[in-house]
Amino acid sequence: MQRVEKWRIQELALLLQQLYKLLMKGNNSEWANVFLHFHQETVKILSRDELSVEALRRLIHNIVNCFDGFHSFTNLSLGREDSDSGSELNHDFNQTKMRLLAVLSEIDSRTTIYTH
């Protein structure tokens, strides 16, 4: 198993917090609270003396589940597309989602045990 550096988990926490803020700004408090919970779980994982790989893998699995399905978090848009602020908010939101998926993929690959 490869090692997961603390900064990667900190980056995950920051992205989850950023998503929370964007969702609140976009008046979607339901999803915002989901990502606030994920942020809090990430902070718990970071606060432990020893990294719990199992807790981290469970967290990653739960976050990735938000992106599954046709009517999921993936298809969510914030604000109104016809306004400049809505377009900018959605752009930031989509960029943050893409970065989150990349970070989750990277962390997941570092927690996977490969056998020969």
Domains: count for the chain: 1
Q: Does residue 45 belong to any structural domain of this protein?
A: yes
What is the pLDDT at residue 65? 92
pLDDT band at residue 45 under the 50/70/90 scheme: very high
Q: Which domain holds residue 87?
A: 6-111
CA pair distance 46, 80, nearest whole angstrom: 36
What is the per-residue pLDDT for 85?
64
- Report d(CA 12, CA 105) in Å as an integer: 11
Query: Does residue 104 belong to any structural domain of this protein?
Result: yes
Q: Residue 51 carries which side chain, given as an amino acid letter?
A: L
76 within domain boundaries: yes
116 in a structural domain: no
Question: Which pTM value belongs to this model?
Answer: 0.87
pLDDT computed for residue 1 by the predictor: 43
Q: Which residue has the higher pLDDT, 99 or 78?
A: 99
Poorest-pLDDT segment among 44-53, 64-73, 79-88, 102-111 = 79-88
1 within domain boundaries: no
Q: Does residue 23 sit within a domain?
A: yes
User: Comparing C-alpha atoms, which of 75, 70, 93, 83 is closest to residue 24?
Assistant: 93
Is 78:26 a contact under the CB 8 Å cutoff?
Answer: yes
98 within 8 A of 92, measured Cβ to Cβ: no
